[in-house]
Amino acid sequence: MTTHDLPLGRHVAYPSGYDASLLYPIARTLGRAALGIAADDALPFIGMDRWHAYELSWLDLRGKPVVATMTLSVPADTPNLVESKSLKLYFNSFNASRFADVAAVRARIADDLSRAAGGAVTVADGVPAAADDRDAVLLDGLDIAIDHYGPPDAGLLHGDDDDIADETLRSDLLKSNCPVTGQPDWASVRIAYRGPRIDRAGLLRYLVSFRDHAEFHEQCVERIFVDLLARCRPQALSVEARYTRRGGLDINPWRATPGCTPPMPARDPRQ
């Protein structure tokens, strides 16, 4: 058997020069329609999609390679999300292209992504430090049986109106699949809320019910937010998922009720 016969990823012809046309925007309305959010509806959440880029390189004006990391922030109210593989290919198009300095690269990325997303994308140098999740209760040690792995079942979510809580819950067991490639997407999810106490066993079963589900990262987080808001009726709700890195990129969607403070930029230990 030769390597050509193996069921491995096929060869991809990477671009030989900078090419913004590689970015592939996808209308957010496609995923939101499945959640009952019409194109002309006011969004029930605020938020952003924060990307960490670890494998970014270009040539300086004398042809010497430069390497860097960057953090990209895409507002949740932009019309489009950007498909992750297209973003990887786009970043690879910088590898053999010359730029005056890091500021020129940063400005070019911000301009290109803003056009693709349909709104202002911010780009900053570097990636954040490791997260400190000591304030969050980890659900993964719950002694429960689980036998449902998809589709996501909002019926598993329950809130106790007689017991009002203000807490942060966390799980490392969120896993879904990419709807384009079928590859697994792994994440840690952090849910902060104030309102009827959420049944922890039901919440963990609900998060695990994404395991065989195919949906983009951003759409999964919006589904979790919408289902929790409808089923558990919190007065305040924040949902952040930190997905593990693939192809030098990780994505961290955050959605929250208006008025919530954005979480501090942070990287999960698995990122």
Catalytic residue (one of 19, 77, 133, 178): 178
- Annotation-wise, does 246 bind a ligand? yes
- Annotation-wise, does 4 bind a ligand? no
Whole-angstrom distance, CA of residue 174 vs CA of residue 210: 7
- Annotation-wise, does 52 bind a ligand? no
- Annotation-wise, does 64 bind a ligand? no
> Residue 227's Cα: distance from chain center in Å?
17
The strand ranges marked E within 60-158 are 65-75, 80-82, 122-125, 137-138
**Strand order across the 184-198 sheet:** 122-125, 65-75, 46-59, 249-256, 236-243, 184-198, 159-177, 137-138
The answer to whether the beta carbons of residues 51 and 253 sit under 8 Å apart is no
Phi/psi at 50 (nearest 5 deg)?
-105, 120
- Annotation-wise, does 217 bind a ligand? yes
The answer to whether the beta carbons of residues 216 and 192 sit under 8 Å apart is no
Catalytic: 162? no
The answer to whether the beta carbons of residues 165 and 194 sit under 8 Å apart is yes
Neighbours of 250 (CB within 10 A): 23
The sign of the CA dihedral 173, 174, 176, 181 is negative
Catalytic residue (one of 172, 185, 227, 250): 185
| Structure tokens given for 192 | 């902060």
Closest alpha carbon to 268 in 177, 205, 174? 174
Catalytic: 132? no
Whole-angstrom distance, CA of residue 176 vs CA of residue 247: 17
Whole-angstrom distance, CA of residue 225 vs CA of residue 229: 6
- Annotation-wise, does 93 bind a ligand? no
Annotation: binding site for substrate: 82-84, 217-218
Annotation: binding site for NADPH: 84-85, 246-247
Which residues are catalytic, by number?
Answer: 178, 185
